[in-house]
Amino acid sequence: MESNVIVSSRIRLARDIKGMPFPHMMSNADCQKLVDKVFDALDDIGDFDYFQLGKMNLLNIQMAIESNDISKELLKNSETGAYAKSIDETVTIMVCEEDHIRLQCIMPGLSLRKAYDIANDIDSELNKSFEYAFSSKLGYLTACPTNIGTGMRASVMMFLPALTIAGSIDDIIATISKMGIVLRGSRGEGSKASEFMYQLSNEITLGKTEDEIITMVENAVLKLVDLETNARKELLEKNYDMLVDKCHRAYGILSNSYIMSTDEAQKLLSDIKLGLALGLIKIKNADSIDDICDSIKPYHIMGRYGKNIDSETRDKCRAKYLHNIFANTLIE
């Protein structure tokens, strides 16, 4: 059941250079110098593709945001903000976002320790080229005080449909917040849950080691897995026929619609995911559902069918795209 609840793990490190103004106080020329230096250092560390916002079109920038490669915060430095992405697409490093360097590693499943090892190795290599702002008393000094200390956020993306349907999420959020853990929508701070997707992460970065933070998050995740598993059993016992109908209706609509909005597509895909998790429906492309959830977002559809299409045409293209994916994939 754990694999049907835990989607992915992410480690994010915030780092700033000693003696250098934070990005919002830097000139474009100084930001560009930093970008060049970080990219040069990464050349000696691994295989990365490099992107500068000032040289990208808006469509590709928005697709990068939808894919969680970069944050909207980076757009504030749209002329000189930049990022690097590893060839295997697990590591992304933003330069001149809120901090000088934002390094993240995303791995499938509950893989916080593996993600941390990868991120930490790259961070250690970058530290050879840059002297980080660091206090022996406080730890890493960052642009936002909430990141001071380890500068690390350990987060896990979770699929929690049963707890959401049961109305238990608000109580869970209130309970785990007392432990220094926060449960938010899938886009992080300020976002709402879509597709029953939530991001669980540490709220405390000061006063704990990286290992302690990871352990704290892992324990919270495993507890939520137990709660979601029990909630699914109860949901299935009480609403079996309704759930079977719900996921098969979702399949039928995804397979046959002529117009489909993003919100409707996300809701229907979440119903399919729930049906798959509960064993109520079988389809041939079950493993790719999470990728499909990204590929139906507005700018991804525009990237596939044309950047100048209007919203109505985009909804038609989305319906066509989903029809091509789901038609004739149901396993009876």
Full 3-state SS string of 239-300 = HHHHHHHHHHHHHHHHHHCCCCCHHHHHHHHHHHHHHHHCCCCCECCHHHHHHHHHHCCHHH
Look at residue 260 and tell me if it is in a domain.
yes
Q: Which pLDDT value is given to residue 66?
A: 94
Q: Would you say 78 and 53 are in contact if contact means Cβ atoms under 8 Å apart?
A: yes
Residue of higher predicted confidence among 6 and 204 = 6
Look at residue 289 and tell me if it is in a domain.
yes
CB atoms inside a 10 Å sphere around CB 239:
13
Burial annotation 26-53 (CB, 10 A radius, 16+ → b, else e): beeeebbebbeebbebbeebeebebbbb
Q: Which pLDDT value is given to residue 191?
A: 46
Name the one residue in this structure whose structure tokens are 């295989």: 47
Q: How far is CA 216 from CA 160, 203, 222, in A?
A: 19, 11, 10
Look at residue 108 and tell me if it is in a domain.
no
C-alpha 254/C-alpha 318 separation (Å) is: 10
Look at residue 279 and tell me if it is in a domain.
yes
Q: Which pLDDT value is given to residue 190?
A: 47
Residue 155's beta-bridge partner residues? 10, 201
Q: What percent of the chain has a predicted confidence (pLDDT) above 70?
A: 96
The angle formed by the CA atoms of residues 172, 297 and 325, to the nearest 5 degrees, is: 105
Q: Would you say 267 and 247 are in contact if contact means Cβ atoms under 8 Å apart?
A: no
Look at residue 11 and tell me if it is in a domain.
no
Q: Would you say 128 and 45 are in contact if contact means Cβ atoms under 8 Å apart?
A: no
Average pLDDT for 159-175: 93
Look at residue 16 and tell me if it is in a domain.
no
Residue 132's beta-bridge partner residues? 17
Average per-residue pLDDT in the chain? 93
Task: Say if residue 298's pLDDT is above 70.
Answer: yes
C-alpha 99/C-alpha 322 separation (Å) is: 39
Look at residue 317 and tell me if it is in a domain.
yes
Task: Say if residue 49's pLDDT is above 60.
Answer: yes
Q: Would you say 143 and 99 are in contact if contact means Cβ atoms under 8 Å apart?
A: yes
Q: Would you say 156 and 8 are in contact if contact means Cβ atoms under 8 Å apart?
A: yes
Q: Which pLDDT value is given to residue 290?
A: 87
Task: Give 332's pLDDT tier (boundaries 50, 70, 90).
Answer: low
Strands 101-108 and 6-15: what pairing?
Answer: antiparallel
Number of domains in the chain: 1
Q: DSSP label at 191?
A: P
Average pLDDT for 269-297: 92
C-alpha 81/C-alpha 69 separation (Å) is: 13
Q: Which residues span the domain enclosing 262?
A: 238-326
Q: DSSP label at 194?
A: B
pLDDT, tens digit (0-9, with 9 covering 90-100), for 90-147: 999 999 999 999 999 999 999 999 999 999 999 999 999 999 999 999 999 999 999 9
C-alpha 172/C-alpha 184 separation (Å) is: 11
Contacts of 57 (CB under 8 A, 6+ apart): 307
Q: Would you say 129 and 41 are in contact if contact means Cβ atoms under 8 Å apart?
A: yes
Paired tokens of 240: 């079996």
Task: Give 195's pLDDT tier (boundaries 50, 70, 90).
Answer: confident
Global pTM? 0.92
Look at residue 247 and tell me if it is in a domain.
yes
Paired tokens of 10: 């992410």
